[in-house]
């Protein structure tokens, strides 16, 4: 495997290039899917020759910016990554559905669509408004239309975001509908209503809570798990092992917005660490710079990152129904 070592001049340059807690190093690593090791003033790059050369260029440009007394941030690194990988044109990544043209609108979205195209298992992590769910659904609809898969399965954990809805009335569809709304909204935007209902009636598109995936093997399908940060570690393992022949899995989520009960680890963060170096797995980290909703969304994200207010009494996350997802009880005093 090709390997390149970059020697850094001093501890100050090392901190600037790697970022706090190595955040900038991980950003380059995840974008190019290479192995990056930093130790004793050296950065070692391992991977395919093209990606290694791109990473070398990125780190050298980062050093140049630092020497100009420029304080490096994730936005700078995303721009350098985009420039280094500019050989992939956006037109190759366009998705055309229902008289709509879906194309990447930021460097992070470009990397995300590349990963969706090139990998059987993709993790997309980022804040609200970065297009994680929408782009995954658009890619799935495109694959279904072109007969590259036979079925789309859209999945969400049935975990409340603090509002304690309790036991909702109605059948299964009525109970889980509030949780699956974002997925349905994306589908309605990409398909005519009658066509979507027909696809769902013929089981070409299925929407289900995460707990209902147990025991299944899905072939010739693309399975999208939205809000993956709210899956527990056992649930994530169960979900990822549903992959059958000619299947693809996409897991999206925001690891800063976990709604699981206190003391319960997020299956998304755990899976990313476990599978980071597994061939065939694509991991894309989207940043605030990739937010493409209303301009106020980025300001809102910034405001909530500055100060996180303590949760009000009695608003701890709960499960919608013990029948949908195994309950997680806190120990009694």
Instruction: Please tell me what DSSP assigns to residue 159.
Output: B
Q: Is there a contact between 148 and 317 (Cβ–Cβ < 8 Å)? A: no
Residue 227 tokens read as 């809000």
Q: Rounded to an integer, what distance in angstroms lies between the CA atom of residue 264 and that of residue 39?
A: 33
- Length of the chain equals 333
Q: Which residues contact 151 (CB under 8 A, 6 or more apart)?
A: 144, 203, 204, 205, 206, 218, 220, 221, 222
> 323: pLDDT confidence band, cut at 50, 70 and 90?
very low
Instruction: Judge whether residue 190 has pLDDT over 90.
Output: no
Q: Count other Cβ atoms within 10 Å, centred on residue 320.
A: 20
Instruction: Judge whether residue 163 has pLDDT over 60.
Output: no
> 151: pLDDT confidence band, cut at 50, 70 and 90?
very high
Q: Rounded to an integer, what distance in angstroms lies between the CA atom of residue 264 and that of residue 247?
A: 29
Q: Rounded to an integer, what distance in angstroms lies between the CA atom of residue 252 and that of residue 245?
A: 22
Averaged pLDDT for residues 43-53: 84
Q: Is there a contact between 17 and 8 (Cβ–Cβ < 8 Å)? A: yes
Indicate the pTM of the whole model: 0.61
CA count, 13 A, side-chain hemisphere, 1? 10
Which burial class, exposed, middle or buried, applies to 184 when counting CB atoms under 10 A from its CB (0-12, 13-18, 19+)? middle
Query: What does the pLDDT read at residue 91?
Result: 44
User: How remote is the C-alpha of 182 from its chain's centroid?
Assistant: 15
Query: What does the pLDDT read at residue 162?
Result: 40
Q: Rounded to an integer, what distance in angstroms lies between the CA atom of residue 119 and that of residue 137?
A: 15
Q: Percent of the chain at pLDDT above 90?
A: 29
Q: Is there a contact between 39 and 90 (Cβ–Cβ < 8 Å)? A: no
> 191: pLDDT confidence band, cut at 50, 70 and 90?
confident
User: How remote is the C-alpha of 288 from its chain's centroid?
Assistant: 13
Is beta strand 100-102 parallel, antiparallel or unpaired with respect to 95-97?
antiparallel
Residue 121 tokens read as 């298992």
């Amino acid at each position: 495997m090709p390997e390149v070592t970059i020697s850094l001049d001093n501890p100050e340059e090392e901190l600037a290039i790697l970022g706090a807690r190595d955040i900038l190093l991980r950003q380059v690593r995840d974008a190019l899917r290479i192995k990056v090791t930093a130790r004793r003033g050296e950065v070692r790059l391992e991977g395919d020759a093209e990606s290694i050369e791109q990473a070398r260029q990125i780190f050298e440009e980062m050093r140049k910016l630092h020497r100009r007394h420029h304080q490096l941030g994730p936005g700078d690194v995303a721009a350098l990554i985009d420039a280094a990988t500019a050989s992939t044109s956006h037109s190759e990544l366009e998705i055309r559905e229902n008289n709509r043209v879906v194309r990447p609108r930021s460097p992070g979205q470009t990397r995300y669509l590349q990963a969706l195209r090139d990998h059987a298992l993709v993790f997309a992590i980022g804040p609200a408004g970065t297009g994680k769910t929408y782009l995954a659904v658009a890619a799935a609809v495109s694959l279904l239309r072109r007969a590259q898969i036979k079925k789309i399965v859209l999945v969400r954990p049935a975990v409340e975001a603090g509002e304690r809805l309790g036991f909702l009335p109605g059948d299964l569809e009525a109970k889980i509908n509030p949780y699956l709304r974002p997925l349905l909204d994306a589908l309605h935007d990409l398909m005519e209503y009658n066509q979507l209902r027909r696809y769902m009636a013929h089981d070409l598109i299925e929407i289900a809570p995460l707990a209902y995936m147990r025991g299944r093997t899905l072939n010739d399908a693309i399975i999208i798990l939205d809000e993956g940060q709210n899956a527990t570690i056992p649930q994530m393992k169960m979900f990822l092992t549903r992959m059958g022949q000619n299947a693809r899995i996409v897991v999206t989520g925001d690891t800063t917005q976990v709604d699981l009960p206190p003391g319960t680890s997020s299956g998304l963060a755990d899976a990313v660490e476990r599978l980071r170096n597994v061939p065939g797995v694509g991991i894309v980290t989207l940043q605030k710079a990739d937010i493409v909703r209303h301009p106020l969304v980025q300001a809102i994200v910034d405001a909530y990152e500055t100060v996180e207010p303590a949760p009000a009494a009695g608003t701890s996350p709960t499960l919608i129904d013990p029948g949908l997802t195994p309950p997680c009880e806190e120990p009694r005093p």
